[in-house]
Amino acid sequence: MLAISTTRRATIGRTPRFWGITRGELFKISRLRSTWIMGILALGISILPWFALSFIPRQRASLVAHTISSTLNNVEGNLSLMRVFLGIFLIILAVQTIGLDYQQGTIRIILARGVDRLQLLGAKALALFIVSVIALAGWFLWELILGTVTLSLVGGGFGLFSALNGTFWQDTGLYAITVVVSALASVALAIAATVLGRSVAFGMAVGLGFFPIDNFGTLILRVISIVTNNTFWAQLTRYLLGPALNYMPIAALPQTTHIVATPSGPVNEVSGAFSLGINPLYTDNFVHTLLVALVYVLAFAALAIVLTWRRDVKE
């Protein structure tokens, strides 16, 4: 009896460890039906652009004549779509990971077992970071497979890739970095929004509505700048998160010059990287866009930490 009582007291006195909580969060994420549904949808969405590529007229001629630039344009377009849809996927996942515990009341049970509020938030954030890394690596690998197969079929074989030099792979790597930054910013936004509202509905509304409103804000500031004849309002668009993330690939990759045939003769045309979304009215370099994203991520993290630390969980 004494041994049983001692064991029982030792068991009751134990508090969950951080890594154990993190594993539990990873287990819950893997059991969410929405995780697998969105994963399947993501695979389907990524296939469509490459499938449509084979139906574009004169695409093979373009790949053969301008292998590097044409291939890079196709890669940029697909990575740009990946940035948008992966961001949506991670926002939904982060909102559910944080918000379901509040909505279903299970957070009170977890805290009653001795888990600290900040410890729980950190475990959830780490689990989401791990899932984000896995999702990014998986999608990049999937895009590489799709791109290799599609371009080899359209371009007439794998010999096409022998023409891709170090500059191409460097530019592709820089574009991939901007996708990673955008994904992490999306997760930080979703965590902060859900901690603020403590509900799935509020987190979804803010998380999914933030970037459209942020992009639309650029147009509003443009109108205000024109009406007031003051560039101050247009300058503010340099510090909006959505436009900064949209412009980041353009700022990261060098501009390229193409010779375009016109009725008056050949003309040099300068173009930058392809990116979806509205850009700032006044643009900056890659470092500036990176700093803007970093400031927002730190602000989102500070908001989530302070609210979790200061607010108690009540009935």
Residue 49 belongs to some domain of the structure: yes
pLDDT higher than threshold 90 for residue 303:
yes
Q: How many CB atoms lie within 10 A of CB 24?
A: 17
Integer Cα distance of 124 and 302 in angstroms:
15
Integer Cα distance of 280 and 238 in angstroms:
5
Residues 73-83: tens digit of each pLDDT = 888 888 998 89
Residue 101 belongs to some domain of the structure: yes
Which of these, 296, 308, 241, lies nearest to 98 by C-alpha position?
A: 308
Q: What pLDDT is attached to residue 2?
A: 43
User: What SS3 state is found at 105?
Assistant: coil
Tokens found for residue 243: 């436009």
Q: What pLDDT is attached to residue 271?
A: 64
Residue 315 belongs to some domain of the structure: no
Integer Cα distance of 239 and 243 in angstroms:
8
pLDDT higher than threshold 60 for residue 64:
yes
Task: Please compute, for residue 80, the number of CA atoms within 13 A of its CA located in the half-sphere on the CB side.
Answer: 18
Q: What pLDDT is attached to residue 186?
A: 96
* Domain enclosing residue 296, as ranges: 18-310
Task: Name the DSSP class of 261.
Answer: E
H helical segments located in the chain: 2-13, 18-31, 33-53, 59-65, 67-104, 106-112, 117-155, 166-197, 200-228, 231-235, 241-252, 286-310
Tokens found for residue 302: 């500070």
Number of domains comprising the chain = 1
Residue 9 belongs to some domain of the structure: no
Residue 305 belongs to some domain of the structure: yes
Residue 304 belongs to some domain of the structure: yes
Q: What pLDDT is attached to residue 3?
A: 46
Lowest mean pLDDT among 3-17, 121-135, 168-182, 251-265: 3-17
Q: What pLDDT is attached to residue 262?
A: 54
**What are the DSSP calls for 163-226, one per residue?**
G--HHHHHHHHHHHHHHHHHHHHHHHHHHHHHHHH-SHHHHHHHHHHHHHHHHHHHHHHHHHHH
Q: How would residue 269 be classed by pLDDT, with cut points 50, 70 and 90? A: low
Residue 1 belongs to some domain of the structure: no
Task: Name the DSSP class of 272.
Answer: -
Q: How many CB atoms lie within 10 A of CB 293?
A: 20
Q: What pLDDT is attached to residue 256?
A: 64
Which of these, 89, 116, 113, lies nearest to 34 by C-alpha position?
A: 89
Residue 246 belongs to some domain of the structure: yes
Q: What pLDDT is attached to residue 7?
A: 45
Q: What pLDDT is attached to residue 267?
A: 52
pTM over 0.85: yes
pLDDT higher than threshold 70 for residue 123:
yes
